[in-house]
Amino acid sequence: MQADLLAEDPQSPVRLFAVNPATFEGGNAFVTGAIPLLQEAGAAGPWKTWRPTYRDVVVLDRQNRKLAVFNLTEHDLRQQTEYDALRAILAAAAGGAE
């Protein structure tokens, strides 16, 4: 999806990355590298702030405030309508006021 967004608009401010909670770093060697990985290191990291559940896409504004949550277990991105729904959420977030 990151490649699609940048192909459509090379200046797009949307950046996708994974966040791995503290104590789960043992699996980092198996990450494919499809998107950058942020490894949480302490108790005050994004997992405490954003409170995601497994497979959540947390959409942030430009000040890193949570705007929306899109769960990939509930919404299969292999379905075009679901893919388009997430792209629309990201596009709306990118177009939001600073």
pLDDT in tens, 3-33: 888 888 888 889 898 888 888 888 888 776 7
Q: CA triplet 20, 80, 56: central angle to 5 degrees?
A: 20
Q: What is the mean pLDDT of residues 41-57?
A: 82
70 or 31: which leads in pLDDT = 70
Task: Collect all residues with Cβ–Cβ distance below 8 Å to 98 and sequence separation of at least 6.
Answer: 62, 63
Report how far residue 26's alpha carbon sits from residue 98's, in angstroms, rounded to the nearest whole number: 37
Residue tagged 């990985």 (tokens): 37
> What are 49's two structure tokens?
């702030």
Most confident of 45-49, 53-57, 85-89: 85-89
Q: Name the pLDDT band for 95 (thresholds 50, 70, 90).
A: confident
Q: What is the mean pLDDT of residues 49-55?
A: 85
